Amino acid sequence: MIGLFGIVVSLVLLMYLAYKGFSVIILAPVLALFAVIWSGMTHELLGFYSQVFMSGLGGYIIKYFPLFLLGAVFGKLMDDSGSARTIAIFFVERLGHQRAMLSIVISCAILTYGGVSLFVVGFAVFPIASALFKELGIPKRLIPAAIMLGALTFTMTALPGTPAIQNAIPMPYFKTDLYAAPVLGIIASIFMLITGMWWLNRRVEHSIKQGEGYGNHIEQHKEILTHSDPSLLIAMIPIVLVILSNLILSKVIFPSMDTSYLATAQFGHTSLNSVIGLWSIITALVIACIAIIVLNWKRINDIRDSIQNGVSSSFLPIFNTASEVGYGSVIASLAGFVILKDFLVGLVPSNPLVSEAILVNVLAGITGSASGGLSIALNTMGETYMNLAHQFGISPELMHRVASMASGSLDSLPHNGAVITIIALCGLTHKQSYYDMFMVAVIFPLLALIGVITLGTYFGSF
Protein backbone atom coordinates (compact mmCIF):
# COMPACT_ATOMS: atom_id res chain seq x y z
CA MET A 1 0.00 0.00 0.00
CA ILE A 2 2.92 2.36 0.58
CA GLY A 3 3.82 2.06 -3.08
CA LEU A 4 0.25 2.90 -4.12
CA PHE A 5 0.30 5.93 -1.81
CA GLY A 6 3.51 7.09 -3.47
CA ILE A 7 1.88 6.83 -6.91
CA VAL A 8 -1.12 8.89 -5.77
CA VAL A 9 1.08 11.58 -4.19
CA SER A 10 3.20 11.66 -7.34
CA LEU A 11 0.11 12.18 -9.52
CA VAL A 12 -1.23 14.95 -7.28
CA LEU A 13 2.13 16.73 -7.33
CA LEU A 14 2.26 16.42 -11.12
CA MET A 15 -1.12 18.15 -11.43
CA TYR A 16 -0.36 20.86 -8.86
CA LEU A 17 3.11 21.76 -10.10
CA ALA A 18 2.04 21.69 -13.76
CA TYR A 19 -0.74 24.14 -12.84
CA LYS A 20 1.89 26.35 -11.18
CA GLY A 21 3.78 26.48 -14.47
CA PHE A 22 6.65 24.04 -13.93
CA SER A 23 7.82 22.25 -17.07
CA VAL A 24 6.46 18.72 -17.49
CA ILE A 25 9.75 17.78 -19.14
CA ILE A 26 11.39 18.25 -15.72
CA LEU A 27 8.45 17.21 -13.56
CA ALA A 28 7.80 13.86 -15.25
CA PRO A 29 11.14 12.12 -14.56
CA VAL A 30 11.52 13.67 -11.09
CA LEU A 31 8.05 12.60 -9.94
CA ALA A 32 8.34 9.20 -11.58
CA LEU A 33 11.50 8.55 -9.59
CA PHE A 34 9.75 9.94 -6.50
CA ALA A 35 7.20 7.13 -6.88
CA VAL A 36 10.02 4.60 -7.32
CA ILE A 37 11.58 5.72 -4.03
CA TRP A 38 8.23 5.33 -2.25
CA SER A 39 8.06 1.80 -3.62
CA GLY A 40 11.29 0.97 -1.80
CA MET A 41 13.47 0.53 -4.88
CA THR A 42 15.94 3.36 -4.35
CA HIS A 43 18.85 1.18 -5.44
CA GLU A 44 17.18 0.74 -8.87
CA LEU A 45 16.56 4.46 -9.39
CA LEU A 46 18.93 5.04 -12.31
CA GLY A 47 17.79 1.84 -13.97
CA PHE A 48 14.19 3.04 -13.90
CA TYR A 49 15.29 6.35 -15.41
CA SER A 50 17.48 5.07 -18.22
CA GLN A 51 15.71 1.82 -19.09
CA VAL A 52 12.05 2.50 -18.32
CA PHE A 53 11.42 6.24 -18.38
CA MET A 54 13.65 6.99 -21.38
CA SER A 55 12.42 3.92 -23.27
CA GLY A 56 8.83 5.09 -22.86
CA LEU A 57 9.73 8.65 -23.87
CA GLY A 58 11.77 7.51 -26.87
CA GLY A 59 9.18 5.02 -28.05
CA TYR A 60 6.50 7.71 -28.13
CA ILE A 61 8.69 10.11 -30.09
CA ILE A 62 9.60 7.39 -32.61
CA LYS A 63 5.92 6.60 -33.16
CA TYR A 64 4.30 10.05 -33.20
CA PHE A 65 6.95 12.67 -33.99
CA PRO A 66 6.01 12.80 -37.70
CA LEU A 67 2.44 13.78 -36.75
CA PHE A 68 3.55 16.58 -34.44
CA LEU A 69 6.13 17.76 -36.99
CA LEU A 70 3.91 17.73 -40.07
CA GLY A 71 0.92 19.10 -38.17
CA ALA A 72 2.96 22.07 -36.96
CA VAL A 73 4.42 22.76 -40.41
CA PHE A 74 0.99 22.46 -42.03
CA GLY A 75 -0.52 24.89 -39.54
CA LYS A 76 2.28 27.42 -40.00
CA LEU A 77 1.94 27.30 -43.79
CA MET A 78 -1.84 27.76 -43.52
CA ASP A 79 -1.22 30.77 -41.29
CA ASP A 80 1.54 32.42 -43.31
CA SER A 81 -0.30 31.95 -46.61
CA GLY A 82 -3.41 33.67 -45.23
CA SER A 83 -5.49 30.55 -45.91
CA ALA A 84 -6.68 30.16 -42.31
CA ARG A 85 -7.80 33.79 -42.22
CA THR A 86 -9.64 33.47 -45.54
CA ILE A 87 -11.64 30.46 -44.31
CA ALA A 88 -12.58 32.18 -41.05
CA ILE A 89 -13.74 35.37 -42.80
CA PHE A 90 -15.78 33.39 -45.32
CA PHE A 91 -17.92 31.73 -42.66
CA VAL A 92 -18.41 34.98 -40.76
CA GLU A 93 -19.63 36.70 -43.92
CA ARG A 94 -21.84 33.85 -45.13
CA LEU A 95 -23.51 33.05 -41.83
CA GLY A 96 -24.10 36.71 -41.12
CA HIS A 97 -23.74 38.83 -38.02
CA GLN A 98 -26.95 37.45 -36.55
CA ARG A 99 -25.16 34.11 -36.27
CA ALA A 100 -21.87 35.54 -35.04
CA MET A 101 -21.28 32.88 -32.41
CA LEU A 102 -21.98 30.02 -34.83
CA SER A 103 -19.72 31.53 -37.49
CA ILE A 104 -16.75 31.63 -35.10
CA VAL A 105 -17.37 28.07 -33.89
CA ILE A 106 -17.74 26.68 -37.43
CA SER A 107 -14.62 28.54 -38.62
CA CYS A 108 -12.57 26.95 -35.83
CA ALA A 109 -14.12 23.54 -36.51
CA ILE A 110 -13.35 23.57 -40.24
CA LEU A 111 -9.75 24.60 -39.65
CA THR A 112 -9.02 22.05 -36.91
CA TYR A 113 -10.80 19.22 -38.73
CA GLY A 114 -8.55 20.02 -41.66
CA GLY A 115 -5.43 19.59 -39.54
CA VAL A 116 -4.64 23.17 -38.52
CA SER A 117 -3.33 23.43 -34.95
CA LEU A 118 -5.26 25.15 -32.20
CA PHE A 119 -2.68 27.91 -31.85
CA VAL A 120 -2.86 28.87 -35.53
CA VAL A 121 -6.66 28.75 -35.36
CA GLY A 122 -6.67 30.99 -32.30
CA PHE A 123 -4.42 33.62 -33.85
CA ALA A 124 -6.38 33.56 -37.13
CA VAL A 125 -9.87 33.68 -35.63
CA PHE A 126 -9.50 35.88 -32.55
CA PRO A 127 -9.11 39.24 -34.37
CA ILE A 128 -12.19 38.45 -36.47
CA ALA A 129 -14.21 37.35 -33.44
CA SER A 130 -13.11 40.37 -31.43
CA ALA A 131 -14.12 42.87 -34.11
CA LEU A 132 -17.43 41.10 -34.74
CA PHE A 133 -18.38 40.73 -31.07
CA LYS A 134 -17.49 44.35 -30.38
CA GLU A 135 -19.69 45.56 -33.23
CA LEU A 136 -22.65 43.46 -32.03
CA GLY A 137 -22.19 44.10 -28.32
CA ILE A 138 -21.44 40.47 -27.45
CA PRO A 139 -19.19 40.07 -24.37
CA LYS A 140 -15.57 39.48 -25.21
CA ARG A 141 -15.37 36.98 -22.34
CA LEU A 142 -17.30 34.47 -24.52
CA ILE A 143 -14.68 34.35 -27.28
CA PRO A 144 -12.46 31.72 -25.57
CA ALA A 145 -15.44 29.38 -25.13
CA ALA A 146 -16.40 29.80 -28.79
CA ILE A 147 -12.85 28.93 -29.89
CA MET A 148 -12.75 25.97 -27.49
CA LEU A 149 -16.07 24.59 -28.75
CA GLY A 150 -14.96 24.68 -32.37
CA ALA A 151 -11.35 23.62 -31.94
CA LEU A 152 -11.05 21.43 -28.84
CA THR A 153 -14.20 19.32 -28.55
CA PHE A 154 -15.86 17.33 -31.32
CA THR A 155 -13.23 18.03 -33.99
CA MET A 156 -10.49 16.87 -31.63
CA THR A 157 -11.86 13.57 -30.36
CA ALA A 158 -15.21 12.54 -31.86
CA LEU A 159 -15.60 13.46 -35.52
CA PRO A 160 -14.41 10.49 -37.61
CA GLY A 161 -11.36 11.20 -39.72
CA THR A 162 -10.05 14.10 -37.66
CA PRO A 163 -6.23 14.17 -37.89
CA ALA A 164 -5.90 15.37 -34.28
CA ILE A 165 -3.27 13.48 -32.30
CA GLN A 166 -5.96 12.50 -29.78
CA ASN A 167 -7.66 10.51 -32.55
CA ALA A 168 -4.40 9.00 -33.75
CA ILE A 169 -2.95 7.76 -30.45
CA PRO A 170 -5.41 4.82 -29.99
CA MET A 171 -4.77 3.41 -33.50
CA PRO A 172 -1.71 1.22 -32.80
CA TYR A 173 -3.26 -0.18 -29.62
CA PHE A 174 -6.60 -1.19 -31.13
CA LYS A 175 -5.47 -1.77 -34.75
CA THR A 176 -7.92 0.87 -35.98
CA ASP A 177 -7.83 3.98 -38.15
CA LEU A 178 -9.02 7.57 -37.77
CA TYR A 179 -12.57 6.59 -38.82
CA ALA A 180 -13.26 4.24 -35.90
CA ALA A 181 -16.96 3.99 -34.92
CA PRO A 182 -17.95 6.71 -37.40
CA VAL A 183 -21.68 6.95 -36.71
CA LEU A 184 -21.20 7.08 -32.95
CA GLY A 185 -18.56 9.75 -33.48
CA ILE A 186 -20.90 11.81 -35.64
CA ILE A 187 -23.75 11.51 -33.11
CA ALA A 188 -21.42 12.65 -30.32
CA SER A 189 -20.14 15.53 -32.47
CA ILE A 190 -23.64 16.77 -33.23
CA PHE A 191 -24.54 16.57 -29.54
CA MET A 192 -21.48 18.58 -28.49
CA LEU A 193 -22.07 21.21 -31.17
CA ILE A 194 -25.79 21.63 -30.42
CA THR A 195 -25.42 21.73 -26.64
CA GLY A 196 -22.40 24.02 -26.83
CA MET A 197 -24.19 26.43 -29.15
CA TRP A 198 -27.30 26.32 -26.97
CA TRP A 199 -25.22 27.31 -23.97
CA LEU A 200 -23.31 30.10 -25.72
CA ASN A 201 -26.42 31.58 -27.34
CA ARG A 202 -28.17 31.46 -23.98
CA ARG A 203 -25.27 33.34 -22.42
CA VAL A 204 -25.38 35.95 -25.20
CA GLU A 205 -29.10 36.50 -24.67
CA HIS A 206 -28.56 36.87 -20.93
CA SER A 207 -25.77 39.42 -21.45
CA ILE A 208 -27.95 41.47 -23.80
CA LYS A 209 -30.76 41.57 -21.23
CA GLN A 210 -28.25 42.70 -18.63
CA GLY A 211 -26.90 45.37 -20.97
CA GLU A 212 -23.37 44.05 -20.53
CA GLY A 213 -21.97 44.74 -23.99
CA TYR A 214 -18.51 43.85 -25.30
CA GLY A 215 -16.76 45.25 -22.26
CA ASN A 216 -14.14 47.91 -21.75
CA HIS A 217 -11.05 46.41 -23.33
CA ILE A 218 -8.07 48.29 -24.72
CA GLU A 219 -6.66 46.45 -27.70
CA GLN A 220 -5.37 46.90 -31.19
CA HIS A 221 -6.72 44.77 -33.98
CA LYS A 222 -4.39 43.82 -36.76
CA GLU A 223 -5.68 44.13 -40.29
CA ILE A 224 -8.07 41.23 -40.76
CA LEU A 225 -7.83 40.80 -44.52
CA THR A 226 -4.97 41.67 -46.83
CA HIS A 227 -4.91 41.93 -50.59
CA SER A 228 -2.56 38.97 -50.79
CA ASP A 229 -4.83 36.48 -49.01
CA PRO A 230 -5.86 33.54 -51.24
CA SER A 231 -9.37 32.89 -52.50
CA LEU A 232 -11.60 30.48 -50.60
CA LEU A 233 -11.03 27.78 -53.23
CA ILE A 234 -7.25 28.00 -52.88
CA ALA A 235 -7.50 28.13 -49.08
CA MET A 236 -9.77 25.08 -48.88
CA ILE A 237 -7.82 22.79 -51.22
CA PRO A 238 -5.20 21.74 -48.58
CA ILE A 239 -7.97 21.12 -46.02
CA VAL A 240 -9.90 18.92 -48.46
CA LEU A 241 -6.70 17.11 -49.43
CA VAL A 242 -5.99 16.13 -45.82
CA ILE A 243 -9.47 14.69 -45.38
CA LEU A 244 -9.80 12.93 -48.75
CA SER A 245 -6.21 11.69 -48.96
CA ASN A 246 -6.42 10.16 -45.52
CA LEU A 247 -9.69 8.40 -46.37
CA ILE A 248 -8.51 7.04 -49.74
CA LEU A 249 -5.11 5.97 -48.44
CA SER A 250 -6.48 4.15 -45.39
CA LYS A 251 -9.46 2.51 -47.09
CA VAL A 252 -8.25 1.85 -50.65
CA ILE A 253 -4.60 2.38 -51.53
CA PHE A 254 -2.66 0.93 -48.58
CA PRO A 255 -4.96 -2.11 -48.13
CA SER A 256 -4.40 -2.99 -51.79
CA MET A 257 -0.61 -2.96 -51.48
CA ASP A 258 1.57 -5.96 -50.73
CA THR A 259 2.80 -5.27 -47.20
CA SER A 260 3.74 -8.82 -46.25
CA TYR A 261 7.31 -7.61 -45.71
CA LEU A 262 6.15 -5.94 -42.48
CA ALA A 263 5.96 -9.38 -40.83
CA THR A 264 9.73 -9.88 -41.16
CA ALA A 265 12.21 -9.24 -38.35
CA GLN A 266 13.65 -6.22 -40.18
CA PHE A 267 10.30 -4.40 -39.78
CA GLY A 268 9.55 -5.57 -36.26
CA HIS A 269 7.18 -8.46 -37.06
CA THR A 270 4.30 -6.01 -37.40
CA SER A 271 1.23 -5.87 -39.62
CA LEU A 272 -0.48 -3.33 -41.85
CA ASN A 273 -3.29 -2.89 -39.33
CA SER A 274 -0.77 -1.62 -36.79
CA VAL A 275 0.58 1.15 -38.99
CA ILE A 276 -2.03 1.96 -41.64
CA GLY A 277 -3.61 4.78 -39.63
CA LEU A 278 -0.29 6.53 -39.04
CA TRP A 279 0.86 5.97 -42.61
CA SER A 280 -2.33 7.49 -43.96
CA ILE A 281 -2.35 10.69 -41.95
CA ILE A 282 1.42 11.24 -42.38
CA THR A 283 1.11 10.90 -46.15
CA ALA A 284 -2.01 13.09 -46.25
CA LEU A 285 -0.25 15.89 -44.34
CA VAL A 286 2.77 15.72 -46.64
CA ILE A 287 0.50 16.04 -49.68
CA ALA A 288 -1.35 18.97 -48.08
CA CYS A 289 1.88 20.80 -47.18
CA ILE A 290 3.16 20.46 -50.74
CA ALA A 291 -0.19 21.75 -52.03
CA ILE A 292 -0.06 24.86 -49.83
CA ILE A 293 3.45 25.69 -51.01
CA VAL A 294 2.59 25.20 -54.70
CA LEU A 295 -0.68 27.16 -54.49
CA ASN A 296 0.77 30.00 -52.42
CA TRP A 297 4.31 30.20 -53.73
CA LYS A 298 4.19 34.01 -54.07
CA ARG A 299 2.01 34.68 -51.01
CA ILE A 300 4.30 33.16 -48.39
CA ASN A 301 7.07 35.66 -47.76
CA ASP A 302 9.73 33.11 -46.86
CA ILE A 303 8.80 29.46 -47.34
CA ARG A 304 12.00 28.24 -45.75
CA ASP A 305 11.37 30.41 -42.69
CA SER A 306 7.74 29.22 -42.41
CA ILE A 307 8.80 25.57 -42.54
CA GLN A 308 11.58 26.15 -40.01
CA ASN A 309 9.22 27.92 -37.60
CA GLY A 310 6.76 25.05 -37.95
CA VAL A 311 9.50 22.52 -37.24
CA SER A 312 10.68 24.45 -34.18
CA SER A 313 7.16 24.77 -32.78
CA SER A 314 6.69 20.98 -32.87
CA PHE A 315 9.52 20.18 -30.44
CA LEU A 316 8.05 21.38 -27.14
CA PRO A 317 4.63 19.68 -27.57
CA ILE A 318 6.11 16.30 -28.54
CA PHE A 319 8.63 16.33 -25.68
CA ASN A 320 6.01 17.43 -23.15
CA THR A 321 3.74 14.54 -24.10
CA ALA A 322 6.58 12.03 -24.48
CA SER A 323 7.83 12.92 -20.98
CA GLU A 324 4.36 12.18 -19.61
CA VAL A 325 4.43 8.82 -21.42
CA GLY A 326 7.81 8.07 -19.86
CA TYR A 327 6.29 8.92 -16.48
CA GLY A 328 3.43 6.52 -17.17
CA SER A 329 5.85 3.77 -18.16
CA VAL A 330 7.58 4.02 -14.78
CA ILE A 331 4.31 4.12 -12.84
CA ALA A 332 3.00 1.08 -14.75
CA SER A 333 6.09 -0.94 -13.84
CA LEU A 334 5.64 -0.46 -10.07
CA ALA A 335 3.98 -3.04 -7.86
CA GLY A 336 1.54 -0.46 -6.48
CA PHE A 337 0.09 0.08 -9.95
CA VAL A 338 -1.19 -3.52 -10.01
CA ILE A 339 -3.60 -2.59 -7.21
CA LEU A 340 -4.78 0.48 -9.10
CA LYS A 341 -5.07 -1.49 -12.33
CA ASP A 342 -7.16 -4.24 -10.72
CA PHE A 343 -9.40 -1.60 -9.13
CA LEU A 344 -10.05 0.14 -12.44
CA VAL A 345 -10.74 -3.05 -14.35
CA GLY A 346 -13.05 -4.17 -11.56
CA LEU A 347 -15.20 -1.02 -11.55
CA VAL A 348 -17.61 -2.55 -14.05
CA PRO A 349 -16.22 -6.07 -14.63
CA SER A 350 -18.49 -6.78 -17.59
CA ASN A 351 -17.88 -3.48 -19.38
CA PRO A 352 -14.25 -2.29 -19.76
CA LEU A 353 -15.48 0.79 -21.65
CA VAL A 354 -16.37 2.39 -18.32
CA SER A 355 -13.00 1.84 -16.65
CA GLU A 356 -11.21 2.92 -19.83
CA ALA A 357 -13.19 6.16 -19.89
CA ILE A 358 -12.51 6.85 -16.21
CA LEU A 359 -8.79 6.09 -16.46
CA VAL A 360 -8.23 8.28 -19.51
CA ASN A 361 -10.33 11.12 -18.08
CA VAL A 362 -8.57 11.12 -14.72
CA LEU A 363 -5.08 11.01 -16.24
CA ALA A 364 -5.95 13.72 -18.78
CA GLY A 365 -7.25 15.86 -15.92
CA ILE A 366 -4.18 15.28 -13.77
CA THR A 367 -1.71 16.02 -16.54
CA GLY A 368 -3.81 18.83 -18.03
CA SER A 369 -3.24 17.25 -21.41
CA ALA A 370 -5.57 15.19 -23.58
CA SER A 371 -2.74 13.59 -25.51
CA GLY A 372 -0.60 13.14 -22.41
CA GLY A 373 -3.32 11.50 -20.33
CA LEU A 374 -4.43 9.31 -23.24
CA SER A 375 -0.87 8.23 -23.95
CA ILE A 376 -0.18 7.30 -20.33
CA ALA A 377 -3.44 5.38 -20.09
CA LEU A 378 -2.94 3.33 -23.24
CA ASN A 379 0.77 2.86 -22.71
CA THR A 380 0.00 1.29 -19.34
CA MET A 381 -3.36 -0.37 -20.02
CA GLY A 382 -3.79 -0.52 -23.80
CA GLU A 383 -2.97 -4.21 -24.11
CA THR A 384 -5.22 -5.01 -21.14
CA TYR A 385 -8.17 -3.19 -22.70
CA MET A 386 -7.60 -4.85 -26.05
CA ASN A 387 -7.67 -8.27 -24.38
CA LEU A 388 -10.82 -7.32 -22.46
CA ALA A 389 -12.45 -6.14 -25.67
CA HIS A 390 -11.88 -9.58 -27.21
CA GLN A 391 -13.04 -11.29 -24.04
CA PHE A 392 -16.34 -9.41 -23.86
CA GLY A 393 -16.95 -9.11 -27.59
CA ILE A 394 -16.47 -5.34 -27.71
CA SER A 395 -15.37 -3.83 -31.01
CA PRO A 396 -11.84 -2.36 -30.95
CA GLU A 397 -13.30 0.58 -32.91
CA LEU A 398 -15.59 1.34 -29.99
CA MET A 399 -12.66 1.11 -27.57
CA HIS A 400 -10.79 3.57 -29.81
CA ARG A 401 -13.62 6.09 -29.93
CA VAL A 402 -14.29 5.95 -26.18
CA ALA A 403 -10.59 6.37 -25.39
CA SER A 404 -10.26 9.32 -27.75
CA MET A 405 -13.39 11.06 -26.47
CA ALA A 406 -12.47 10.42 -22.83
CA SER A 407 -9.25 12.37 -23.35
CA GLY A 408 -11.19 15.48 -24.34
CA SER A 409 -13.16 16.48 -21.28
CA LEU A 410 -11.35 16.64 -17.92
CA ASP A 411 -8.22 17.64 -19.80
CA SER A 412 -9.71 21.15 -20.10
CA LEU A 413 -9.37 21.99 -16.41
CA PRO A 414 -7.85 25.40 -15.52
CA HIS A 415 -4.24 24.18 -15.72
CA ASN A 416 -4.59 22.91 -19.30
CA GLY A 417 -2.07 24.53 -21.62
CA ALA A 418 -4.61 25.25 -24.35
CA VAL A 419 -6.99 26.89 -21.85
CA ILE A 420 -4.22 29.12 -20.55
CA THR A 421 -3.06 29.99 -24.07
CA ILE A 422 -6.52 30.91 -25.39
CA ILE A 423 -7.34 33.06 -22.38
CA ALA A 424 -3.98 34.85 -22.68
CA LEU A 425 -4.42 35.32 -26.43
CA CYS A 426 -7.78 36.99 -25.81
CA GLY A 427 -6.34 39.23 -23.11
CA LEU A 428 -8.71 37.88 -20.46
CA THR A 429 -8.51 36.00 -17.16
CA HIS A 430 -9.76 32.64 -15.88
CA LYS A 431 -12.26 34.50 -13.70
CA GLN A 432 -13.77 36.21 -16.74
CA SER A 433 -13.87 33.31 -19.19
CA TYR A 434 -13.32 29.89 -17.67
CA TYR A 435 -16.89 29.15 -16.54
CA ASP A 436 -18.18 29.07 -20.12
CA MET A 437 -15.10 27.19 -21.33
CA PHE A 438 -15.75 24.59 -18.62
CA MET A 439 -19.33 24.08 -19.77
CA VAL A 440 -18.59 23.63 -23.49
CA ALA A 441 -15.27 21.76 -23.17
CA VAL A 442 -15.79 19.63 -20.05
CA ILE A 443 -19.46 19.11 -19.16
CA PHE A 444 -20.99 18.60 -22.61
CA PRO A 445 -18.14 16.35 -23.87
CA LEU A 446 -18.57 14.25 -20.69
CA LEU A 447 -22.29 13.87 -21.42
CA ALA A 448 -21.49 12.94 -25.03
CA LEU A 449 -19.01 10.32 -23.79
CA ILE A 450 -21.63 8.79 -21.50
CA GLY A 451 -24.01 8.66 -24.45
CA VAL A 452 -21.48 6.88 -26.67
CA ILE A 453 -20.69 4.32 -23.96
CA THR A 454 -24.41 3.67 -23.45
CA LEU A 455 -25.16 3.32 -27.17
CA GLY A 456 -22.04 1.22 -27.74
CA THR A 457 -22.87 -1.08 -24.85
CA TYR A 458 -26.38 -1.84 -26.13
CA PHE A 459 -25.89 -1.64 -29.90
CA GLY A 460 -22.17 -2.17 -30.46
CA SER A 461 -19.91 -0.10 -32.69
CA PHE A 462 -21.40 1.58 -35.73
Is pLDDT above 70 for 204? yes
Is residue 363 within 8 A of residue 331, CB to CB? The reply is: no
- Taking residue 119's Cβ as centre, other Cβ atoms within 10 Å add up to 20
Is residue 181 within 8 A of residue 453, CB to CB? The reply is: no
Is pLDDT above 90 for 241? yes
Summarised one tens digit per residue, pLDDT across range 393-451 is 999 999 999 999 999 999 998 878 788 889 888 888 888 999 999 999 999 999 999 99
pLDDT of residue 143: 96
Is pLDDT above 80 for 226? no
Mean pLDDT for 75-92 is 90
Which of 370, 13, 341 has its CA nearest to residue 158? 370
Is pLDDT above 70 for 220? no
Is pLDDT above 60 for 240? yes
Which of 461, 412, 427 has its CA nearest to residue 196? 412
pLDDT of residue 413: 85
The CA distance from 181 to 405, in Å, is 12
pLDDT of residue 81: 93
- Taking residue 188's Cβ as centre, other Cβ atoms within 10 Å add up to 26
pLDDT of residue 219: 59
Is pLDDT above 70 for 340? yes
pLDDT of residue 224: 52
Is pLDDT above 60 for 187? yes
Gap between the terminal Cα atoms of the chain:
42
What is the pTM assigned to this prediction? 0.85
